[in-house]
Structure 1
């Protein structure tokens, strides 16, 4: 998927596909790159998230820009929207979870960590990632935080899949998640806040790197 996306992105940036022009169909791209249509579909979603194309139902995928947008979109929310909300919600939530979590919360977080580290399927890992962050919000003892994360769950999943595909984030995320859970288990509010802050900073840095073409 990364190779297909990189090739299409480069072709658009070089002007091989003009703004307003239509990309070849999924079937044609699948034949050209000798990959499955699902791989092509993921690559096209990546281009759309970068703000370089637009998909029109029944018509195809059209080029909208010769380079990536500064602020990729994931469903109804932009990357900037998500980062701002996550900074103001998930960072304090990690601190609350450290002082309010139950043993059941810790057991579930440990179980999720083990499953994520053993998971080989990216789609399944993304689903576990969403559940991991929701579980921390619930461990805060404030049900409103859980509702907020649930509201943006689909956008977070799209962003997570995007980062894993283009930024090779899975192994790094697993390590960062374990640091967060360790701090929560230790009951250290400051360490949990620091660990979640570092995690979100790495997410933002990877997004910036992808947009700049460094990945």
Structure 2
């Protein structure tokens, strides 16, 4: 079964403190906790996130009503690249970065090798609301990490395991799909070329797809 252009595909720049879901029912007794959800930003019906971003993470969230593509991109065996910018406490040295590249043992699993580099300059980003905690005596650094797996809170646990806690985390790309200059809290439909790249990511060998 092939994906079609009848489906809807959009990206959203998820702000901090927003749940990656459209409804928020409390964990007990069905109590509505009134936390901010995607419903406050996206009026498109019947689309759902492909994967998720934690409430305290920001950046690119892909949404669609294409269930097959959603499955392909979320299933671990299809591991597709996701790139994050992580602001960490203190400045990692070369040895620490190499640990992240080789894989970190966290609880009962070891992470897959990752692409990791120290950004030479701080990226230009809108301020976070609320801002991160600042400790004047402790410098911070920005890392670019590209992973092909999505364990729960993986980036935060990886950097914490080597002694550099993550202060701010932003997903900037999924495969060839980039956040670009889309402002926080805004969404848009994918352009035809972006849809084609997305299909090629999800179906690399079985679907020679046309650009619509």
Q: TM-score, normalised by structure 1?
A: 0.26
Q: Which has the higher contact order (CA 8 A, sep 6+)?
A: 2
Asked which structure has the greater CA Rg, the reply is 1
Between Structure 1 and Structure 2, the one with more helix by share is 1
Which structure's residues are more often strand, by fraction? 2
TM-score calculated relative to the size of structure 2:
0.27
